Homo-oligomer: A and B are copies of this chain.
Amino acid sequence: MRISQGVEWGLHCCLTLAWADNPEPLPTAKLAARFDLPSAYLNKRLQALMRAGILTSTSGSRGGFRLARSPVDITLWDVVAAIEGEETAFRCTEIRQRAGASPDECRHPCSVALAMYTAEAAWREALSKQTLADLMNASPEAAPTRARRWFELNRR
């Protein structure tokens, strides 16, 4: 089981945007250059964050991304769900049916699927309790200073 790299990219880009507190939108190319990431792939992740209402985007030559809401209102689950999707990591394929479970039994999830979903709910809850603001507070002091300096050097 592996969480895609896009989640790491997305969270670090959101942190940069939060620290930059940018009045002007930041284009994908600038964010990609900051973290040495492939711009086209990163753009897909940023578009996903935009569709989920975490970022806003402006098109055009001075276009780019900004946070759509305050860092206290963006949870880690918001970002993970936007990039990985909301489908459960455990996907029940109902193999009990091949072992003779009746249609009546199969109206409810089996004990295996229920237990796996319960554990996954604990993970989602833990992600939902942590916000982008918490990540900012837990970062070393040098991180926001560095992000703001970078933003000043890269604004148009």
Residues in A lying within 8 Å of B, measured CB to CB:
1-5, 7-9, 11-12, 15-16, 34-37, 76, 84, 89-93, 95-96, 98-102, 105, 110-116, 118-123, 125-127, 130, 134-136, 138-140, 142-143, 146-147, 150
Binding site secondary structure of chain A: helix
Complex partner residue of A3 from B11, B89, B96, CB under 8 angstroms: B89
Number of copies: 2
Query: Across the interface, which residues of B come within 8 angstroms of A91, CB to CB?
Result: 2-3, 5, 8
- Chain B residue nearest to A94 in the complex (CB): B8
Complex partner residue of A139 from B5, B36, B111, B150, CB under 8 angstroms: B111
Residues B142 and A102 in contact, CB atoms below 8 Å apart: yes
Residues A92 and B8 in contact, CB atoms below 8 Å apart: yes
Q: Can you list the 8 inter-chain pairs with the closest CB atoms, starting with the nearest?
A: A123-B123, A119-B126, A111-B138, A122-B126, A36-B98, A111-B135, A119-B127, A35-B95
